[in-house]
Amino acid sequence: MARSNRKIFKYLIPTFIILLYVGYAGIKVVYANEPVKETQQNVENVVADSSVNTAETSAEHKPAEEHKEAKLDAGKLIMEHIADAHDWHIATIGHNHISIPLPVIIKDANGLHVFSSSHLHEGEVYQGYKIEEGKIIAENGNDDFYDLSITKNVAAMFIAVFALLWIMLSIAGSYKRNGIVAPKGIQSFVEPLIFFIRDEVAIPSIGKKYEKYLPYLLTIFFFIFFNNIFGLIPFFPGGANVTGNISITMILALFTFAITSFSAKKEYWIHIINTPGVPWWLKFPVPLMPIVELIGVFSKPFVLMVRLFANITAGHIIMLGFFSLIFIFAEMNTGLGFGVSIFSVAFTTFMSFLELLVAFLQAYVFTLLSALYFGMAIEEHHSEEHH
Amino acid sequence: MELVKPGIGLLFWMTITFSIVLYILTKFAWKPILNSIRERESSINEAINAADNARKQMESLKADNEKLLAQARAERERMLKEANEMKDSIIAQAKRSADEEGRKIITNAKDSIEREKLNALNELKTQVAVLSVDMAEKILRKKMDDRTQQEAFVNDNLKSIKLN
C-alpha cells in the first residue's frame, strides 16, 4: 500500500507543477507574442479566469488606446478574480475567450427574467439590463430589482455540493450494503475525518448531547472543506472563490448562530443578562456587562464569517499575486518574465500546499468554533465555576 | 468595498443549497454512516471484550491445570514417601522380630543346654556315687573280713565323731 502511495505522489507532484507551469506559461506566451498591442483589459482577460470585462474590452479595438494602457493592473486583476462573475471564464486562446455563460435570473417589478448571460456579452443590453464592472445593473439606472443569477460562485458551489453529495451518499450506500466491515476506498479517507469531527470536535466541545449537533458539524466541515479544495483547483470545475465570498460565509455563520440561539438553554440567556461573578454595579444602573455579552453573542458568528472569508480570499490573492509578478516583470522584459516565472511557480506551488493545509484548517476551525458555541449554549450550571 | 458586500443572489442560493445539503446529508448520509460506525464500534468492543474474556478463561484454565498438575505431583511425592516409610518400617520390624526370635531361640538353646548339662552332671554324680559306694562296699567288704579290722574301723570313725 505504502509503495503504491509513494508512486502516486511521485507522479502527482510533478504533474501538478507541470500543469501549473504549462497553464500559466502558455497564457504568458500568448501575451508575450503581442506584448505592446494588447490593451490592459485584454491582458487581464488573458490572465484571469474571471469575468470578461465586456464594457472595457470593447474599447480594446480602439486603436488610439492601444499604446496608452499597456500596463498590467495586478490589483484590479486579482480583485476581478476574487469577486463573483456572471460567466465562467475557462481560458483565452488568442483573442477567443472560452467561457461558460451562466443563467441570469432577475426578479423585478415586472416579474422574473431568466436568460443566458451570453446576451449581456460585451456590454450589450438585454431585457433592460447590462453588466457593468461584473455586476448587473438596470439600463435605466433603476436598482429596484433582485439579482438571483446563477453566478460563477453559485455554479462552483453547486459543483462542489454535487461532488459532496455524490461521495457521501455513495459512502452511506456502501455502509448499508457491506454492513460491518473495515472501510474501503474513499470510505477510508472520509471515515477518519468523521471520527475526527466526532471525537476531537463534537464530543469535547459539546459533551454528552453531541449527537444532536453532529450532522450539522459534519455538514459544515465537509461543505467548507470541499469548497476550499475546489477553490484551489486552478481550472474549470474549481477556481472560484466560493468560501472566500462573504455571502457564503455569512450564511454559514448565520446557520451556526441560529442553531446556537435556538438550542440555547435558559442558563445561557441568564448568563448574558445577569452574568454571574461580576460586580452588581457593572449590571445595574448602566447594563454594561449585558451589553458586552450581547455584543459577544453577535460577534461570535461575525468572527466566524470574517475568518473563513479572509483566510480563503488571502490565499487566492497571494497565489494570483505571485502570478501577476510574472506579467509585471514580463512587461519590462520578456526574459525577465521567464526568469521570475520560475520563482513564481515555485512559490505558488509552495503556497498551494500551504493552502491545502489552510483548506482543512479553516474548515476545522469553523466547525470547532461552531461546536464550542453549541456547547456554551447548552451548558448547564457550570458557569459559576468558570468565572 | 465591493469585496465585503454580500450579494443577494449568492445569499439566496447559498441558503437554499445549504439547507438542502444539510437535510439530505443528515438524513441519507450522516445517519446511516454514524449508525454503521457506532454499530461497528460496538461490535469491535464486543469482540475485544470476548477475546479478553476468552483469554482470561484460558488463563484460569491454565492455572487450574497447573494447580492440578502440582497437586498430582505432590500426591505422587507423598505416596512415594509413604511407601518408603512403610518399607523402612516393615524392614525394621522384620529385623526387630527376627532378632527377638533369634535371641529367644538362643536363650532356649542355652537353657536346654544348661539343663542337659545339669542332667548329665547329676547323672554323672549319681553314677559316680553309685560306683564309689559300690567300690567302697567292695573294699569294705574285703577289709572287714576279720573282726579286728572291723573294730579298728569303728573305733576310728567313733573317734572322728566328737560327742558334745
For B80-95, the pLDDT digits (tens) are 999 999 999 999 999 9
In 3D space, the residue among A219, A201, A216, A213 whose CA is nearest the CA of residue A165 turns out to be A219
Measured between alpha carbons, how far is A307 from A366 in angstroms, rounded to an integer?
8
The strand ranges marked E within chain A are 87-93, 96-101, 103-108, 111-116, 129-132, 135-138, 146-147
Q: Is position B2 within any domain?
A: no
Q: Where are the domains of chain A?
A: 2-20+154-386, 27-71+102-150
Chain B contact for A215, CB < 8 A? yes
Q: Percent of chain A beyond pLDDT 70? A: 80
Domain that holds residue B93: 8-160
Q: Does residue B104 sit within a domain?
A: yes
For chain A positions 142-201, those within 8 Å of chain B (CB to CB) are 146-151, 153-154, 157-158, 161, 164-165, 168-169, 171-172, 175-176, 179-180, 191, 194-195, 198
d(CA B114, CA B35): 115
Which pLDDT does position A24 carry in this prediction? Answer: 54
Question: DSSP letters of A311-355?
Answer: HHHHHHHHHHHHHHHHHHHHHH-HHHHHHHHHHHHHHHHHHHHHH
Q: What is the mean pLDDT of residues A146-152?
A: 86
A87 within 8 A of A52, measured Cβ to Cβ:
yes
pLDDT reported for residue A66: 38
Contacts of A339 (CB under 8 A, 6+ apart): A329
Residue B51 lies in a domain: yes
CA distance A301 to A370: 8
Q: Return the pLDDT at B51.
A: 95
Query: What is the distance between the alpha carbons of residues A191 and A194, in angstroms, rounded to a whole number?
Result: 5
Q: Do B4 and A246 touch (CB under 8 A)?
A: yes
pLDDT at B19: 94
Number of domains chain B is built from = 1
- pLDDT at position A44, please? 42
Task: Please state the φ and ψ torsions of residue A362, each to the nearest 5 degrees.
Answer: -70, -40
Q: Is-contact A30 A92, C-beta < 8 A?
A: yes
Query: Which cell is A198 given?
Result: 466526532
Q: What is the mean pLDDT of residues B7-16?
A: 88
The verdict on a CB contact (< 8 Å) between B15 and A164 is no
pTM above 0.90, yes or no: no
Q: What is the ipTM of this complex?
A: 0.74
The pLDDT assigned to A274 comes to 77
Please report, rounded to a whole number, the percentage of residues in chain B having pLDDT higher than 90: 52
Q: For residue B4, give how far its alpha carbon lies from the nearest alpha carbon of chain A (Å).
A: 6
Per-residue model confidence (pLDDT) at position A177: 83
Question: How close A67 comes to chain B (CA, Å)?
Answer: 30
Looking at the domain assignment, is residue B21 inside a domain? yes
Q: Tell me the average pLDDT across A348-371.
A: 92
